[in-house]
A and B are shown apart, each in its own frame.
Chain A
Amino acid sequence: DTGVSQNPRHKITKRGQNVTFRCDPISEHNRLYWYRQTLGQGPEFLTYFQNEAQLEKSRLLSDRFSAERPKGSFSTLEIQRTEQGDSAMYLCASSFYSTEAFFGQGTRLTVV
């Protein structure tokens, strides 16, 4: 197991397009978290899953954002009708219950 893996590492998209990111957590981890980080700011919580259940969703996550973890393993984060304000680093982390969280390298999204 090579840790938390996120794909793609970078994504440039035109405003209005849909984008999807993938996160593969550490295999035995049951919790998976998505965060967003804009330049110069700390990460902001978006949502988290315990197994396949989405247990918490931030108010930051507008209707254009949806996350899934269909089999309790990998997760996808989709942004529909992207806006320039969506440009950020999207970080995924996983943990086994409340033990230490491990982070992926992130997906940097640029909306032009």
Chain B
Amino acid sequence: KNEVEQSPQNLTAQEGEFITINCSYSVGISALHWLQQHPGGGIVSLFMLSSGKKKHGRLIATINIQEKHSSLHITASHPRDSAVYICAVEMDSNYQLIWGAGTKLIIKP
């Protein structure tokens, strides 16, 4: 079993829909990161969380430390949100990032 599990692996939705991507982990962490990767490889950090909830524009990230679960939400989705969204956890023992496999999101106009 992978230490970081993301679901779904692939998600296709219509423009305007509310999107949820989930991340579960099994190790002790000091922080959890949500990142966005576009075709061509560039990675952009969206959020870094250690507790609670963060919001940036149409993006919301939540984390439940007790349940070892985090969600990334996108409100009023737009085709430009199409990308791979990656959850990565920072281990509390050595600060190494362990990555989920990513969720490929396609938003159709």
A-side residues, CB < 8 A to B, are 31, 33, 35, 37, 41-45, 48, 55-56, 89, 91, 93, 98-103, 105-106, 108
Q: B70 to nearest A CB, angstroms? A: 15
How many B residues touch the partner, as a band? Answer: 20 to 34
Given A45-B96, A99-B48, A106-B43, 8 more A-B residue pairs with CB atoms under 8 Å apart are A37-B41, A42-B88, A43-B99, A48-B96, A56-B94, A98-B30, A101-B97, A103-B45
Q: Does the CB pair A101–B41 fall under 8 Å?
A: no
**Could you tell me which residues of chain B, from 13 to 59, have a CB within 8 Å of some CB in chain A?**
30-31, 33, 35, 40-45, 48
Q: A98-B30, A98-B31, A100-B48 are in contact. Are A41 and B101 (CB under 8 A)?
A: yes
Provide a sorted-by-A list of 10 A–B residue pairs whose CB atoms are within 8 angstroms: A42-B100, A45-B96, A48-B96, A56-B96, A100-B45, A103-B35, A103-B44, A105-B41, A106-B42, A108-B41
Name A41's closest neighbour in chain B (CB-CB): B101
Tell me if A's interface is mostly helix, strand, loop or mixed: strand
Name the B residues within 8 Å of A55 (CB-CB): 94
**Shortest CB distance A92–B (Å):** 10
